[in-house]
Structure 1
């Protein structure tokens, strides 16, 4: 894993989240700091109190591949409708949970794309595929999309992510590992579910685009489940490689969008990186945005969410500056960092 020359633009977004059934509503709620946390129909076995998390209120709620398709299909439709191309000419790369995660639907790999096609009413591009890897999946998919676009094999690519932790087997595994926030544990996450998608094109395709100028994929050996000394070397290397591609330092980055979920491990990781790399004087501090605070842990959907939020911030004029860095990490050790830039930032409406 290494640095990859991305140079692709985000020109459209789609979202289905606990905060809203489309990108406009979800992003407005994120900007306002609206939290979707609520009591869930599962109990903490120690205290007997309901677990807290987030969920999308679909007309009929259940868990499985069909529910994930219900989450993702409207997000893809938003992206398709944001351009004039035939949807069947746009490949869709879908980040999903890793294959060994407890509670993963057994038919996910075979049935998710057909289920989405059934809901959309048309076939997807033949190159459409799933990319299993939790948070890391859409980052790897972005690298694939960049290669296709730069070779001009296609005009647009959708990178999406869909995930849900609201499954008894998944929650039991997280509870056994003491990774859920409960009455007796504050070092944990709030389980959630979401689908997010971004439409990618070559830069210069839209006036309100943001451009991914640097992308680095690395590996952390000291994972959250490891006993090894943790020094955040994987994410630090990802930052360095992504910043080198853009010929800037972390001190020139205006804000950071991250997958921080409430677990101390990821906060320590971000702190290590900032301590090593953010060493030059700043006119103002670098803001740290973490939408999982409001959405709950959405895992495979987090990177498209971060990119959508960065684009919305530039469109609506509340971005702290032109340059941002997005970072994420999967439990299995994969890390990704992306440097994005908005060449046009709207004047904020007050």
Structure 2
């Protein structure tokens, strides 16, 4: 074992990642989940929805990536709470936050949005023939009110319960929820960094929780034809996960003698011209623009890209077109790519935090083979995001 080497002081204004927490089908903590992904292990679960097998004329259950044991028997807020508590507990184990730190700590949580449910309603109304405008308005008004009530319930029930279970007394004014798809994590990080630099906070826990393997979410994705089945090779396997990172301003982490595991060098979000419900091809303009914003400095040359390609043809086509544009933004031609949905399934709002944990653990355990990692986030909604993480090569490495 090599002797620890002290890290040089971080530059003024640097935003460090000082702790991680993650729970996925591959493991209940960040160390085992990332080790599972690195080993290429896949943990399958039979889901509640069945599909006919045309060869045997029998029904077979769909496959997905559920966190077996932890979420069995739980649904709704209870299931999200189980996932979130396990990941947040994992983060708190390494964060070493004292109660005195809570008053200056923020909490940004990414939660599922309603894009797929809204898209399905739109298709159902169209499938019934041209509906009178007042009928369509009434249906959408009812739908959006239900979604608003669900978001309010998550923010007023899930978040306080999650913090209470970890004895985190974070003031309500320092909490924010972000509802959407994979790219919402970039927005949450962007706002956290802004608050850190304005000194509203000293540190901020940023993470996401989502499940696509159960209940209405699974039924909706299946009805939309987005899942991979025996008869449909283009599509994704659903998953569920929760992950968190602790962002901390350089002077704040020095004040409590906390080690940094990586830094967030750049983050950018861009809206696409339209979402998937528009039934038009997305040419990768928004994603490549986010990448260009992150790689504006010529010294930024990541050799590792973590991108949430999940087997879906629509997403793969967009990424292919964006890749051509990204070459012009300075992205090297020879790159290594990691795909979080491959071991864990489609993770929705948890995708960004899981991707960040995978990259930082690779830095920490010295198998990234790059001192920078570019995280790309795409979804079926119009949001696109990118983050650039930097390794801290001379720091004392964690043994977690």
Partner of 2:29: 22
Contact 2:83 2:242 in 1 (8 A): yes
How far apart are 1:128 and its partner, in Å? Answer: 1.5
Query: Following superposition of structure 1 onto structure 2, how do residues 28-107 of structure 1 map, counting pairs within 5 Å?
Result: 28-44=35-51, 48-57=59-68, 58=70, 60-81=72-93, 82-86=95-99, 88-89=102-103, 90-99=105-114, 101-102=116-117, 106=150, 107=153
Q: Is there any run of 5+ residues in structure 1 with no aligned partner, and where? A: 1-5
Kindly provide the CA deviation profile for residues 102-160 of structure 1, in whole angstroms up to 9, marking residues without a partner as x: 39793323311132134334543321132111212221110111012112222211001
**Residues 320 and 280 of structure 1: CA distance in aligned 2, closer, same or farther (over 3 Å):** farther
How far apart are 1:167 and its partner, in Å? Answer: 2.6
Query: Following superposition of structure 1 onto structure 2, how do residues 303-342 of structure 1 map, counting pairs within 5 Å?
Result: 303-342=352-391
Q: Is there any run of 5+ residues in structure 2 with no aligned partner, and where? A: 1-12, 118-145
Partner of 1:130: 177
Partner of 1:114: 160
Partner of 2:212: 165
**Residues 180 and 281 of structure 1: CA distance in aligned 2, closer, same or farther (over 3 Å):** closer
Task: Report the secondary structure of 1:278's partner residue.
Answer: helix
Partner of 1:3: none
* Distance in 2 separating the partners of 1:339 and 1:191: 26
Task: Report the secondary structure of 2:370's partner residue.
Answer: coil
Report the TM-score, using the length of structure 2 for normalisation: 0.78
Partner of 1:302: 351
Task: Report the secondary structure of 2:20's partner residue.
Answer: strand
* Distance in 2 separating the partners of 1:271 and 1:115: 42
Name whichever of 172-181 and 205-214 sits farther off. 205-214
**Residues 320 and 67 of structure 1: CA distance in aligned 2, closer, same or farther (over 3 Å):** same
Kindly provide the CA deviation profile for residues 144-198 of structure 1, in whole angstroms up to 9, marking residues without a partner as x: 1101211222221100100011233222221222100001111111111110000
**Residues 269 and 9 of structure 1: CA distance in aligned 2, closer, same or farther (over 3 Å):** farther
In the comparison of the two structures, how many residue pairs are matched?
340
* Distance in 2 separating the partners of 1:304 and 1:180: 23
How far apart are 1:61 and its partner, in Å? Answer: 2.4
Q: Whose radius of gyration is greater, 1 or 2? A: 2
Aligned Cα RMSD in Å? 2.7
Contact 2:75 2:214 in 1 (8 A): yes
Contact 2:298 2:330 in 1 (8 A): no
Report the TM-score, using the length of structure 1 for normalisation: 0.88
**Residues 321 and 176 of structure 1: CA distance in aligned 2, closer, same or farther (over 3 Å):** same
* Distance in 1 separating the partners of 2:176 and 2:393: 33
How far apart are 1:59 and its partner, in Å? Answer: 6.6
Kindly provide the CA deviation profile for residues 264-290 of structure 1, in whole angstroms up to 9, marking residues without a partner as x: 222222222222232699998201101
Task: Report the secondary structure of 1:339's partner residue.
Answer: strand
**Residues 323 and 167 of structure 1: CA distance in aligned 2, closer, same or farther (over 3 Å):** same
How far apart are 1:44 and its partner, in Å? Answer: 1.8
* Distance in 2 separating the partners of 1:66 and 1:168: 12
Kindly provide the CA deviation profile for residues 280-317 of structure 1, in whole angstroms up to 9, marking residues without a partner as x: 99998201101110001111111111111111111111
* Distance in 2 separating the partners of 1:92 and 1:258: 25
